[in-house]
Amino acid sequence: MNNKINLILNTDSYKLSHYLQYSSDVKYLSAYIESRGGRWNRVLFYGLQMFLKEYLTRKITHEDIDEAKDIIKAHQMPFNEEDWRYIVDTYDGKLPLEIEAVKEGSIVQTENVLVQIKNTDPRLAWLVGYIETSLLRGVWYPVAVATNSYFCKQTILSFLRETGSPEGIDFALHDFGARGVSSFESAGIGSSAHLINFKGTDTITGILFAKKYYGIDMPATSIPASEHSTMISWGKNDEFKAFENMVDKFGEQTFACVIDSYDTLAAIDKWGIVRDSNNTTLFNRVAQLGGKVVLRPDSGNPVIMACECIEKMMEIAGYTINEKGYRVLPEHIRLIYGDGINPQSINDILSELKFRQISADNIVFGMGGALLQHINRDTLHFAMKINATSQDGNNWIPVSKNPITDPSKRSKHGRLALIKIGSSYKTIPLSELHTQQNKLVPIFRNGEILKEIDFNQIRLNVLES
């Protein structure tokens, strides 16, 4: 991320004029963030700490104000220079805001409050709405990716439990998304969100973000793997030699090899039927070396190709029947499918394999754009809305929007609390909390993070949710 980003300019243009629009009676504003529904009925909450560390803990400076003043005036919008100077002079540039949130790693039903924010200085009620743009963006994207990944995991787990063993679930969905996202920052945020659920990635940026913002040394691993450029550089007539070179270089460990450069099914023959100068097949050489080869078809109909490839691998290398009655390849041979993979195709492939009495243990998946990029704010209908105003910071007046043209956009009113009943969460008015435990915990106040969480604890929170 760019440490020189000016937070004053990290907003929408129309926000610049809002300080002139609030009633003079409003000294404090409260707002909240929720998912109003969408693709899934629950969300995995993750990513707020990244935003807080990167943006809200950085002090505003007079230099920031000077820069913003020039740009905003040229943009022909009003600029609240007086209050920004006040923040620097009175608070040393720290934003006088308080943010509370559910703990990261919580799995919460949609239509519940996830984050609640208010100002702590009566002069600066406008600041709550001003940071909506950056704060909402800092929440919806990591939550959407983490939730996407989580429900993919549940799908794979259900098939593994029915047809095989859940033992390998941590590496069942590999992140291929680095090149398919919109920015370096998106790659880091999105990939780290995926790693809450899985431990395999090819997006190094996600590792860096998990380490930087959540203090984990190494959240994921990968394996050596070929791509088409390394295979076709040998020429079509020497494809076997390209495969043989992979075994020579990586045969003592787990590695992946792409097989659709020319003819996918013929390539499997080269691995299991064609013999090298020592009269040994490549599959057998991998077994002798103690490694594991994961073949990767990368084109065609994902359901058909994944199943046909595994069938052919079994025809050549054999299989066993596990205790649940499903066929399993020898331990040193597996398949990874990473082309056209999305939540639906994962389910379709595993359903077809099950129909053919083939265990889900035989396959792992790679997902790129569908994991990190094929989502937007409306995937889970994320919104941030004000829910209360106050003159003294203690007595709150509930406010909300309630458009008759779209009841789904009705917002919550009044200061909120989040409670948990069994495995379900429920949003209630803060005034009705009484002795119940509020799952919204203060985590940020006046420029300081009050409570940090590490990556492993988030993973544990998911398992315990």
> Which string of b and e fits 301-332 if b means at least 16 CB within 10 Å?
ebbebbbbbbbbbbeebebeeeeeebbbbbeb
CA quadruple 367, 180, 371, 177: dihedral, nearest 10: 50
DSSP 405-416: T-GGGPPP-SSE
For residue range 137-181, list pLDDT tens digits in order.
999 999 999 999 999 999 999 999 999 999 999 999 999 999 999
Confidence category of residue 296, pLDDT binned at 50, 70, 90: very high
Contacts of residue 284, defined as CB under 8 A and 6 or more positions apart, other chains included, come to none
Would you say residue 298 has pLDDT above 60? Answer: yes
Beta partners for 254? 292
Tell me the mean pLDDT in the region 411-415.
Answer: 95
| pTM reported for the whole predicted model | 0.96
Whether the pLDDT of residue 60 is over 90: the answer is yes
Helix axes 184-194, 204-214, angle to 10 degrees: 80
pLDDT for the residue 1: 39
Question: Could you tell me which residues come within 8 angstroms of residue 333 by beta carbon, excluding any fewer than 6 positions away?
Answer: 283, 286, 292, 293, 295, 313, 317
Q: Which helix (H) or strand (E) holds 244?
A: helix 239-250
Residue 249's CB is within 10 A of a number of other CB atoms, namely 12
pLDDT at 4 over 80: no
* pLDDT at 182 exceeding the cut of 60: yes
**Listed residue (45, 104, 8, 151) closest to 382, CA to CA:** 45
Helix, strand, coil percentages for the chain (3-state, nearest 5): 45, 20, 35
Share of the chain above pLDDT 70, in %: 99
Q: Where are the beta strands (DSSP E) in 36-95?
A: 42-44
Percent above pLDDT 90 for the chain: 96
The helix/strand/coil state of 131 is: coil
Cα–Cα nearest to 224, from 257, 198, 261, 265: 257
- Whole-number pLDDT of residue 3: 56
The values of phi and psi at residue 45, to 5°, are -80, 120
- The three-state (H, E, C) secondary structure of 437-464, written as one string: CCCCEEEEECCEECCCCCHHHHHHHHHH
Query: What is the model's pLDDT at position 407?
Result: 87
What are the b/e assignments for 211-245, b being 16+ CB within 10 Å?
eebbebeebbebbebbeeeebeebeeeebbebbbb
Instruction: Give the pLDDT confidence of 248-288 residue by residue, as tens digits.
Output: 999 999 999 999 999 999 999 999 999 988 899 999 999 99
- Signed CA dihedral, 349, 231, 172, 287: sign only: positive
Confidence of residue 408 (pLDDT cuts 50, 70, 90): confident
Q: pLDDT category, 409, cuts 50, 70, 90?
A: confident
- For 201, which DSSP code? B
pLDDT confidence of residue 2 = 42
For residue range 93-146, list pLDDT tens digits in order. Answer: 999 999 999 999 999 999 999 999 999 999 999 999 999 999 999 999 999 999
Tens-digit pLDDT profile for residues 330-346: 999 999 999 999 999 99
Quick: pLDDT tens for 186-245: 999 999 999 999 999 999 999 999 999 999 999 999 999 999 999 999 999 999 999 999
8 Å CB contact between 36 and 43: no
Contact 109, 42 (CB under 8 A): yes
Residues 302, 303, 307, 308: is their CA dihedral positive or negative? negative
For residues 54-60, average pLDDT: 96
